[in-house]
Amino acid sequence: MFYIEKVMKERGLSKTRLGFMAQIHPATIGKLLAGHIPPYPNYRRRLSEALGVPEDMLFKRVDETQPAR
């Protein structure tokens, strides 16, 4: 699981809601999370700003049992 997925789950955010917040199409967010497209800098920046999470944390693998910071 990526850190971004943990944050989304803990905050109750859907891909649609996050897409609205970050101005990224929900299908693109799904492709990013599935690893079908790389997390380009533009996507990382917008997601980071929308979630208030450092860019370098977004796509790090994390343990699902530990809470997000």
**Mean pLDDT, residues 17-39:** 98
Q: How many domains does the chain have?
A: 1
| Amino acid 15: pLDDT | 98
Contact yes or no for 44/58 (Cβ under 8 A): yes
Decide if 35 is inside a domain.
Answer: yes
Tell me the CATH number at 26.
1.10.260.40
Residue 26: domain span: 3-58
- Phi/psi of residue 54, each to 5°? -60, 140
> For residues 3 and 56, is the Cβ–Cβ distance under 8 A?
no
Please check whether residue 64 lies inside any domain of the structure: no
Q: pTM surpassing 0.85?
A: yes
Per the CB < 8 A criterion, the answer to whether 29 and 50 are in contact is: no
Residue 22: which of 36, 7, 10, 34 has the closest Cα? 7
What are 6-26's pLDDT values in tens digits? Answer: 999 999 999 999 999 999 999
